[in-house]
Structure formats: structure tokens, C-alpha cells
A and B are shown apart, each in its own frame.
Chain A
Amino acid sequence: MATAAHEVTPQEASAHPLAESVVVRFAGDSGDGMQLTGGQFTLSTALSGNDLATFPDFPAEIRAPQGTLFGVSAFQINFGSTAVDTAGDAPDVLIAMNPAALKVNVGQLKAGGLIIADEGEFGERNLAKAKYAANPLTDGSLAKWQLLSFNISQLTLDAVKPFGLGNKEALRCKNMWTLGLALWMFDRDRQPIIDWLKSKFAKAPVLAEANIAALNAGHAYGETAELAGPMKQHHIGVAPAEPGLYRTVTGAEAISLGLVAGVQLANVPMFFGGYPITPASAILHFLSRLKEYGVTTFQAEDEIAAIASAIGASYAGQLGVTSSSGPGIALKGEAMGLAIMTELPLVIVNSQRGGPSTGLPTKTEQSDLYQAVYGRNGDAPMPVIAARSAADCFDCAIEAVRIAVQYMTPVMLLTDGYIANAAEPWLVPDISSYAPFPVEFAGKQEMKDKLASENPDEWKFLPYGRDEKLKRPWVKPGTPGLLHRIGGIEKAVGTGNLDYGAENHQKMTEIRRDKVANIAVPDQIVELGETSGKLAIVGWGSTFGPIHQAVRRARAKGLDVAHIHIRHIWPMPANLGDLLRGYDRIIVPEMNTGQLKTVLRDQFLVDAKPLNKVSGQPFLISEIEAAIDAALAAL
């Protein structure tokens, strides 16, 4: 049977967002401060008790030429009074700060959705840059949407006039004017933003006041102004949530916090070796500030030095961590082999992005699964864990640390650009509820063994001796009596001495395989639906949100479909094969051309079918719903 990817038709892709949630997209020039506007809107939304998910979508260029199509930066937020798992399919509201932003984004706007445009930016030059032959605000081409256009630029200039700013500086307040309007539309409190502006511009109070004035003016405009019909205030109810303290968290923050928590539970200091790369750098930035938590960060000269220094630190008794994205991970490959051979603990975080090569640095993809599981020379098994969401990164990072130190192995933690940048509400965990897993370095017991042995002079420490989990001891240099040498050349069983012997290599290869294969990972659970049935949608990583919503909607329609989401990519949960064999059909949606699908087919001989998307954008709920309908119709 063919396994070609399911093609999503435009009809299937047209979404019907839940009535109780709203999707807003802020779009403008990359210099317009859209990420900032979106970020602040996110905070105010979280504070008002909505569940939410965001999707920052920005160009790779730091400051692309003004007004151009490729310079458009957008920030989408989906918020609502029910659980929100994705940044939403089609926006209900598009705020377009210039013609290019309108052109790039309007196609995705829900039919009947609202466009708010800054007509002050729709002059001839900007229209030409956006390749508009005529002004879309006036030529009727936006008829299938509701359009509100007013001169935000001029309104902002008027609002900040009293502060005597230059024209350029004054126009920079546009994003706050827009934010003010959005806050009014959705009944959000301005105070947290005002507080934030005051602290951000503490050294330039005039700028703080000007921005606050713009914010208030935008808000007042919504409240009082001469606005046409569509501009009515939305009030989104509070999402029911488990009680407790919440915060917004991005994947990069949650990974950093999880790593810190992990090394505290393991009771070892952390050494982080990194090299700047989009979208992984945020982890390096975050950890660089946490010196008081026993974290040493090192910006190395390249990706190889980043992982090599982390391996050196692990050898010396700290937990080495390194982080990168696809191209950087490729450079680290040889060193991962060294960590596997020397059996040292190490955590490698891969914030995946579109590839191959430089690919799409700021766009998301899940195409490094093969690289994570198989991408090294030799038989080089390594555990791989994939985080499903920003909040999930915290527990995944702890799990990566646990496996690394309990099995003396490098572990790869997969996240992606979407998770790394997107914010979501997070129920702050109670760290005392996590069981510690303190590391025991070799030393005391080995010295006791030596003294107790019949012939202490003949006693020999075995650096490649193993416990029941096949873990070798972790020895800190500086420990008397346990001197030994390690390296990338094949090791003799037990002694770790250099050994090229045929039988020894066979044995050591098997030990390395078995050690990883026998890592205790929790049994696979079914997120939604039954443990057997007609159809299972099996995902991993950041496709969790759209899969979950799609399966929820399908089940609400009475369809027999389940959602399975795999965290432990390698080794896989022991029950996974039997579980998958309990469904008539299996669909694996992935932002790649079918990598998990291939691994599942290989490991379990199941007829998993791919559903693939590699456009640099996350799956739409509707795309997965369409695949569910098609699969069940074919049964």
C-alpha cells in the first residue's frame, strides 16, 4: 500500500475556530516592534485568566529593508476560555501596520474576520514595495473581511506631541497605540503594561510617558471613537484551570529552568557550553544569569568546542550541557560519539529549525529526528526525548538530566523553534514534589574495597566496571587511588584500557546498545481516546497542540480516534508496539517528510501512515481533522 503524504486541500484547511477563543495576529515591519507588542498583549491576556498559546513568526534578517514583504514580522496569539493548545489556525483579527504586513497575512484571515490597518502607511512607496498595484484599503479587494482603517501613525504623533520627540522616535510609539486599542477590544487591563513601560524606560522617563500616552490614546480611541460596527469590545471568559500560581513561559525558559532543577535534583553543578545560533541562543542567555545556582556558562569558539568543553566538564565532575540547532548539532556529531564511547553524562538540546544546511533559521520543523536517533558514525545509541510544549520542556529537561547521570550517557532533548519562542501559561510546579536523584561519585566505596581486599597492592579499580543498569562509575579527577585513562578508542571490558580485539568490540558494542535499550522509560499513555480502536494519531514534539485539538473535535463528533504522543523517542516505551497494533490505522503527523513514521514502522512493523508539512509553519487543527475524516472514511 502506498504511503504518500496526505495533501491538504484548501477546503480542509479552512478552519472553524472555537467560539470561545479568539485568534489575533499583530503584523508589521520587522522594525515596528510587533514581537514586543505581542509579548505584552500575551502577558495582559495571561493576567486576565485566559488560556493562551502564541506563535511568533519573524524574518531571519535582523532589520530587513523597511516595508518589504520579506521584512514582515508577525505575532499570533490564541486565547480563550477553554483550554488552548495551539496558536490557532486562522486569525479572527489581523492588525496590519503596513501594506506588506497586510499582503503577507491577510490570506490566512478567517472569512469575515477583522482587519485593522494603519492607513498612514499605505502611501505609494509602501504600496509599491508590497507589490500592490492599487491601494487595497480602497479598491474593494478586501470585501470578504471587515476593514477598519485609520491613520494610526498620525494618531500616535498627535498623542505623543506634548513630549517633544523627534518624528522617528514619536512614530516608534505606534506599537503601543495599537496595543492600547487591542487591550480595549478584549477588555484587558492596561496597568501591567504601564508598569512595564515605566521600568523599561526608567532611564528615559520621557519615553516612558510618551509610550504610555500612546497606549492610553489607542485605548481611548477604541472606547470613545467614531468607530464603525465591527469594532465592538470582545470579552473572553476565564479559562477553567487547575488552581495555583501561573506564569507565562517560553520553551527556552522552561528548558533552562528544567536543567537547573535537574542538576539540583542530581546535586551536581552545571557547565553549559554553547555557541550562538537561532533559535537556541535564548537558553545560553537565560542560563548566563544564574551563577548563584552553580551554573557556569561558556560561549565557546564554535559548536564543536561547545560540546567538547561540556564533555570535559562532565569528565571533571559537573554535568555538561550543550545546546544548538540542526546545523550546530551536525557539527557536534563526532563529539557525541566520544561521549558515548567514554560513557560520560551529557545533555544536548536541539532546538530544531527548518533544514537542511542553513535552511530556515527562524522557522520551525521537526526534521532532526533521524539525526538525533541515528546521526553518528558507528553503532552509537543515545537516548532521545522530545518536548511537546513550552511548559513540557521543564519536565523533559529534568528527565534528560536524570537519564544522563543515572546511566552515564549523553541524552538528546529535542525541542523546536516554535516551542522555544512560543509562550504559554504554566502552572508553576512545586519543586519539592520532584524526587531527588543525587549522583554518587566513585571514591569512598572503591577505597574501602581496596582496603578490604586480600591483596590491596593487586587491587584494581575498574573504570568500565558496571552496575545492574550497566552504568559505569563516574570518577572525579582529583580522587586519589582511582587514576585511569579514557578516550574515543575502543575500551576493554572492565578496565577501559585500549583494546582493538574483535571479541571485545563485539561485547562492548552490545553493552552500549543494551545499556541504552534498557533505560527505564514510562509506559506510553493515550492522551485522548481508547487504548485500541479504528484510528490513532501518533505525534511527537510540538505537533501536540493541533493533534490534540483535532482529535478532541473529532471525538466530539463521535469519531473513533485516539491521540498518542511520544516523549521518549529513544528508547521507546516498552508497551508502544502492542499499543499501536491495537488500532486499525495509524497516522503520524510530522513537520518533516515522515521520520517518526519510519522509526515506528521499523521498530514495530506497523502500517503507520504519514501526514507531513514542511512549510515552516505549525500544523493547522483543520489539516489534522481533514486527515482523520479521510482515514476513517476509507475504512
Chain B
Amino acid sequence: MNDMTPIAKSTTPKDWETDQEVRWCPGCGDYAILKAVQRTMPEIGARPENTVFVSGIGCSSRFPYYMETYGFHTIHGRAPAVATGVKLANPDLDVWIITGDGDALSIGGNHTMHLIRRNLDCQVLLFNNEIYGLTKGQYSPTSRVGTRTPSTPFGSVDRPANPCAFALGAGGRFIARAIDVHKNLVGVLKAAYAHKGTGFVEIFQNCIVYNDDVFAPFTEKKNAAGSQMWVEHGKPLLFDGGTKGLTMDRERLVLKVVDVVDGDWQAAGVIVHDQTNRGLAHMLVEMPFGAFPMALGVLFDDPAPTFESAVVTQNIEAAKGKTPNLQHLLSQGQTWQVEKEPRAE
């Protein structure tokens, strides 16, 4: 086979496009995410034949059809389980999971939790639009209380799930947030890919038909500066053009917003982001938006051994020194020989 393997050459975003007609609503945030992923692939040096996109069900889960890679559009909520089988069967593959808020946190919540706790080496891109799009606009597990939809005509009453807090609570080692149309998405995807283990990325994705502008308070250009806080490892937690930052209220052990005068963030006691600090990550993902900015970028990145490497290592260790011999295996246990002549009574 080697003789026919094409010599690895660098790819362009175009190489990652399929001939399939993209079937999302015009103006859907998914288009921007697709472009960002197609731009990311050449930058991380990925090979199309070595890449597998696995998705569940929902608008976002059509994604694999549009990527010129191997792809598996599975069933509702089960992409993490299918991806686990793919990766265990061939750990050399780059596995990307594409899912949505309903797919990952409602019907597939169990699998999402276990994928993250096991720390399978893969990327999870959770397109959060706080709505069920494909089924025509019912509220989702991330919809805010009071969301009016066909199934909640008087407003939803149940409290929403927070995807990043869920992922962190499940033991996640890489937690990031990004926005569909924001230029930083590519950088976040690259960081997720570089992380060995489950790279969990919540992408705020606008559903133009059923939940338009639900994230506008922090995604609209005019609101962005004052409400988006893009974090960076080793850099102070600043926003609003560096005029505001986060500090620790030591008495109450909570974060608080402080004004930064003349750029002197140190004087204001602004915290320097440490992406390996789990406690800080918990506080960042839990910050109520409004009183606080929306924390974006790589919020937590602290690698740990991956599931598939542990499985492979154990398989090798347990097999060490044992020669597979099926005939021998069949003949194990309590055996006896029946001679040609039946024994006399």
C-alpha cells in the first residue's frame, strides 16, 4: 500500500471542503464554524484521511457531510460513544465530535459526562444555540428560564445547564469557550487539538431562525468590548479595553470586577490567568453574565493521561509474554481424553 500512498503535502482550507451542498439556513452560525474548522485543519497539519468527524443528531450534526475527511453522522446523543469505539480501535486517528446543546446535554448527557471523565483524546465542539433547531424551535437544556417556544408557550420553568461547568464537573481537562463568528475561534480550536485528552469547546452559535440574537448582549460589536473577556495563560484577566479586570474578593472568596486605572492592573490586584488552575476555571465558567463579563478562550488546560493510551498500554502489558494459541485456549480448563475404545465398566 505504501507505494500508492500520496506524499504528505500541506493542505489548504479548500482541501477540506466536500462536494456536498451545505444545507443550513442562510445566516446560520454553523457556516462560520465550518469555515473556521476548515481554516484550522491546515494550520495544525492534519491529514484528511487521518481525520474522523463524528456527530450526533441536530443541525450541527450535519457537519461531517461538509468536511472532506472520514465522517460518521450517528444517532441522537451517542456521538461520544461511537467516537470512543473509533479511537479505541485506532488511536492514531484524529477524532472530532460535533454536537449541540440538546444532543450533548439532554439526550446524550450521560455519554458526554463519561467521555470527559475518561479523557478520550478527541475534540468536542458543542454548538450551543440554546434551542432545538432541527425539530423547529423547542427550548433546550441550555435555554434560559422563561424561554417561550412551541413546547413552552408560557415560558420554560427549568433552570438551564451550563455546558462548561458540566464539563469541568465531569473532570474535564480542557475547557474553552468561543463565538461562532469571532476570529479567535481558530486559535481556540488549535489549542483544543494541541491538548492531549478531551478538548471541550463550547461555541456560542446563533440560530437565526428560532433564537436569533440570544447571545447579542456579548456578541454584538457594540457590546463586545465591555462584555467579552478573552483569557490567555499568563496574562491578566482584563476586559473593556484593559480598563476593567477581575480580582479576588478575599473575604468572600469570590471574583469581583475592578476598575483598572492607567493600565496598572497590578495595582488593581487583577488576577493573572493560570490555565492549570482548576479552582479559577470553576469560578470563570460560573460567573453570572451581566455583573461579570463572558469569559472566553482557553479557560482550563491541564493535561492528564488519556483513556485510549491507558487501554492500549494495559492491553500490551496484559498480553506481554503470552503467545496467542487458540487451540491451546480451547483446550483449557478441566479436560479429559476419550480413547478410541470406550472404557469397560
A interface, CB within 8 angstroms of B: 43, 46-47, 49, 81, 192, 235, 237-238, 240-249, 257, 260-261, 264, 269, 271, 273, 289-294, 296, 298, 300-302, 304-306, 308-318, 320, 334-335, 337-338, 342, 427-432, 443-444, 447-448, 451, 476-489, 497-498
| Distance, CA A294 to CA B4, complexed state (A) | 28
B111 touches A301 (CB 8 A): yes
Q: Is there an interface contact between B64 and A43, defined as CB atoms closer than 8 Å? A: no
Interface, chain B (partner A; CB < 8 A): 1, 4-6, 18, 20, 48-50, 52, 54, 57, 64-65, 67-75, 78, 80-90, 92-93, 110-111, 113-114, 311, 314-316, 318-319, 322-324, 326-327, 329-340, 342-343, 345
Main secondary structure of the interface of B (DSSP, over half): mixed
B88 touches A301 (CB 8 A): no
Q: Verify A429–B330 contact, CB threshold 8 A.
A: yes
On whether the beta carbons of B72 and A485 are closer than 8 Å, the reply is: yes
Nearest first, the 4 A-B pairs at minimum CB distance are A312-B85, A487-B73, A309-B85, A308-B81
Q: Is the CB of B336 within 8 A of A46?
A: yes
Can you give 6 A-B contacts (C-beta < 8 A)? Answer: A192-B334, A298-B311, A309-B88, A444-B1, A477-B86, A485-B71
Closest to A300 in B: B81
Residue in chain B with minimal CB distance to A447:
B4
A46 in contact with B334 (CB, 8 Å): yes
Among the listed B73, B81, B88, which residue makes an inter-chain contact with A296, where contact means beta carbons less than 8 Å apart?
A: B88
Which one, B5, B87, B110, B338, contacts A480 given CB within 8 A? Answer: B5
Q: Is the CB of A312 within 8 A of B49?
A: no
CB pair B334 A248 closer than 8 Å: yes
Q: Assuming A241-B338, A291-B318, A311-B85, is B329 touching A483 (CB within 8 A)?
A: no
Among B68, B327, B345, the residue within 8 A (CB) of A430 is B327
Residue of A nearest to B57 (CB): A488
- Can you name the residue of chain B whose Cβ is closest to the Cβ of A44? B334
- Determine the distance from Cα of A81 to Cα of B337 in the docked complex, in whole angstroms: 16
Expressed in whole angstroms, the Cα–Cα distance for A242 and B111 within the complex equals 51
Q: Shortest distance in angstroms between A293's beta carbon and chain B's nearest beta carbon?
A: 5
A478 adjacent to B92 (CB under 8 Å): yes
Residues B333 and A248 in contact, CB atoms below 8 Å apart: yes
Assess the B20–A497 pair: CB atoms within 8 A: yes
A to B contact number (C-beta, < 8 Å): 228
Q: Which residues of A contact B335 (CB under 8 A)?
A: 245-247, 428
Instruction: Indicate if the CB atoms of B72 and A315 lie closer than 8 Å.
Output: yes
Contacts of B314 in A (CB 8 A): 291
SS of A interface (majority): mixed
20 more A-B residue pairs beyond the given contacts A294-B324, A316-B89, with a C-beta to C-beta distance below 8 A: A46-B334, A81-B345, A238-B342, A238-B343, A247-B336, A261-B330, A296-B311, A298-B85, A298-B311, A301-B81, A301-B111, A309-B84, A312-B85, A313-B88, A316-B90, A317-B90, A480-B5, A485-B18, A488-B57, A497-B20
The reply to whether B331 and A247 form a contact with Cβ atoms under 8 Å apart is yes
A273 touches B85 (CB 8 A): yes
Complex Cα gap A305–B120 (Å):
14
- Tell me which residues across on chain B come within 8 A of A309, comparing CB atoms: 81-82, 84-85, 88
B93's nearest neighbour on chain A, judged by CB, is A477
Query: Smallest distance from the beta carbon of A359 to chain B beta carbons, Å?
Result: 24
> Would you call A318 and B324 a contact (CB within 8 A)?
no
Compute how far the CA of A111 lies from the CA of B64 in the bound complex, rounded to whole angstroms: 70
Taking a contact as CB atoms closer than 8 A, the residue among B4, B86, B114 that contacts A316 in the complex is B86
Q: Which residues of A contact B114 (CB under 8 A)?
A: 300-301, 305
Cβ A304 vs Cβ B78 within 8 A: yes
Which residues of chain B have C-beta atoms less than 8 A from A335's C-beta?
A: 75, 78
Given contacts A49-B338, A246-B338, A428-B335, contact A237 B318 (CB under 8 A): no
- B57 contact set on A, CB distance < 8 A: 488
B318 touches A498 (CB 8 A): no
Residues B6 and A481 in contact, CB atoms below 8 Å apart: yes
Chain B residue at smallest Cβ distance from A268: B89
Q: Which residue of A lies closest to B320 (CB)?
A: A292
Nearest-neighbour CB distance to chain B for A374, whole angstroms, equals: 20
